[in-house]
Amino acid sequence: MKTTLNFDDHLIRAAKVRAAEDGEPLTRLIERAIRQYLQPPQRAAAPFKLNLVTKKTRTLPGVDVADRNSLYDLMDGLE
Is residue 77 a part of any domain in this protein? no
Structural domain count, the chain = 1
Is residue 47 a part of any domain in this protein? no
Is residue 45 a part of any domain in this protein? no
Q: What is the pLDDT of residue 67?
A: 87
Domain of residue 21, residue span: 9-38
Is residue 17 a part of any domain in this protein? yes
Local confidence band at 47 (pLDDT 50, 70, 90 cut-offs)? confident
Local confidence band at 78 (pLDDT 50, 70, 90 cut-offs)? low
Is residue 34 a part of any domain in this protein? yes
- What CA–CA distance (Å, rounded) separates 70 from 19? 71
Is residue 61 a part of any domain in this protein? no
